[in-house]
């Protein structure tokens, strides 16, 4: 009796591994007596948090997995970062121009302080 083999590879859904890892971590941390009941409460709590905050850990885990394997999920983020970097460069140039004015102001301040110290020293007879 021969068993037919197949080249079919089953894949778990994206983000499902992260859910199981999270459950495993919490089971090891809490060490409950009734693991199925604990898992039901854990997933209900996770679902409630997802509905309240809009944060989906499975989606985040899937994106991180994509980034690790094929880097498709973060292509949009990279483009947004490049746009923001050009904006940040413009802001940095503006701030450096403002900083040059501040440096000139601080140099004037130091000259004034040195002059006032010299005048006070002469008045008090220390010179």
Q: For residues 58 and 15, is the Cβ–Cβ distance under 8 A?
A: yes
- To the nearest 10 degrees (0 to 180), the angle between helices 16-30 and 57-69 is 120
> Residue 40 has what pLDDT?
95
Q: What residue ranges do the domains of the chain occupy?
A: 13-73
Residues in the chain: 127
Render pLDDT for 50-90 as a digit per residue (tens, 0 to 9).
888 888 877 877 777 776 776 655 566 666 666 656 656 66
pLDDT tens across 2-22, in order? 566 667 777 777 778 888 988
Q: Between 70 and 121, whose confidence is greater?
A: 121
Looking at the predicted structure, is the pLDDT value of residue 39 above 90? yes
Look over the chain and give the mean of its residue pLDDT values, rounded to a whole number.
Answer: 76
Torsion of CA 25, 26, 31, 35, to 10 degrees: -100
36: tokens are 């199925």
């Amino acid at each position: 009796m021969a068993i037919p083999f197949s080249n079919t590879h089953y894949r778990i859904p994206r983000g499902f591994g992260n859910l199981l890892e999270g459950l495993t971590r919490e089971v090891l941390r809490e060490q409950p007596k009734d693991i199925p009941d604990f898992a039901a409460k854990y997933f209900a709590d996770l679902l409630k948090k997802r509905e309240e905050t809009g944060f989906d850990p499975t989606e985040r885990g899937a994106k991180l997995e994509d980034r690790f394997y094929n880097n498709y999920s973060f292509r949009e983020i990279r483009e947004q970062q490049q746009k923001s970097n050009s904006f940040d460069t413009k802001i940095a140039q503006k701030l450096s121009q403002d900083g040059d004015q501040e440096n000139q102001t601080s140099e004037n301040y130091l000259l004034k302080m040195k002059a006032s110290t010299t005048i006070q020293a002469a008045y008090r007879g220390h010179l």
